[in-house]
Amino acid sequence: MLKRSAPVLALLLTALSCSACFESTLVLRVGADGTGTVQQRTIVKKAALAQLRSFSALGRGRATLDPLSEDQARALATTLGPGVTYVSSTVINNDDGEGRDSLYAFNDVSQLRVSETPQPPGGITIKTDAIGTDAPAITLSLSHEPNGNVVLHIVIPPPALFDPNGRINPAVIEQLQGIKAMLAGAHLLITMEPNGRFVRSSSPYVDGSRVTLLEVDVDRVLGDATFVPRLQSAKSVDDVKDVVKATPGLKINLDPEITIEFAPH
């Protein structure tokens, strides 16, 4: 049970190992018929652009990287699943950095392949023993209630956190210490909004009709020197939930499934 329900540290690392250089916000909007949109907003920190270009050149033999490329935004549609189409995008250039706000449409929510790990600009791949950019996709499906309401079921597969003996993998802690400086300023947010009247959700992170599936504000999380020791000392699911609840800047639902019920328009 602890293995299944305590992915906090690994999820933090997996999600942010590739988002350390940028902020990523993903908003899912789903209708009662299973159609909807995905809005992906990515901002690359200006101070990190040169480093990203260097990584891209080393990993793919390219000397340049354009995080503002519309071609990259269009290409992302194919990674989101069958039937997903690129709708539009706009360039972002402000004091925080540069990036793009893109909108995609889908015709079947069950075919979506949305990862809790955002796609790095330029297709950079990160893979280590405990973290990487190849995290499993979030699974989504719809069911219908007798009263006409619709329930969206969301399952986020937990990444590996514990070794076969039930202990936290020491490689996770080592890698966290190694990349801590690179994570400064990173912020990851994944939310869902039903296209209909919100009724209820199993998630505790609800603001109006918006449900937060995942949020990690690195500066706030890693600014707490007790976070990793508290997580390491957790012995039960309830212990882990207490760690999450007490950590500012961290919102992760540890239940096996998140449900969102809404009434069609």
pLDDT value for 232: 77
How far apart CA 75 and CA 259 sit, in angstroms, is: 30
Closest CA to 249 of 206, 186, 203, 173: 186
Q: What is the pLDDT of residue 21?
A: 64
How many whole angstroms separate alpha carbon 47 and alpha carbon 65?
14
Task: Domain ranges for the chain, please list them.
Answer: 2-264
pLDDT number for residue 95: 82
Q: What is the pLDDT of residue 46?
A: 74
The pLDDT value given to residue 55: 56
Q: Residue 128's closest CA among 186, 174, 84?
A: 174
The whole-number pLDDT of residue 265 equals 83
Helical axes 237-245 vs 8-17, angle rounded to 10°: 50
**Mean per-residue pLDDT pooled into runs of 10, the chain (265 residues):** 41 44 88 96 76 57 59 90 95 86 96 70 45 65 96 78 55 61 76 96 95 88 83 76 87 88 94
Long-range CB contact pairs, 121-125, < 8 A, 24+: 121/22, 121/42, 121/44, 121/52, 121/65, 121/67, 121/72, 122/52, 122/56, 122/60, 122/62, 122/65, 122/66, 122/67, 122/72, 123/60, 123/72, 124/18, 124/52, 124/55, 124/56, 124/59, 124/60, 125/59
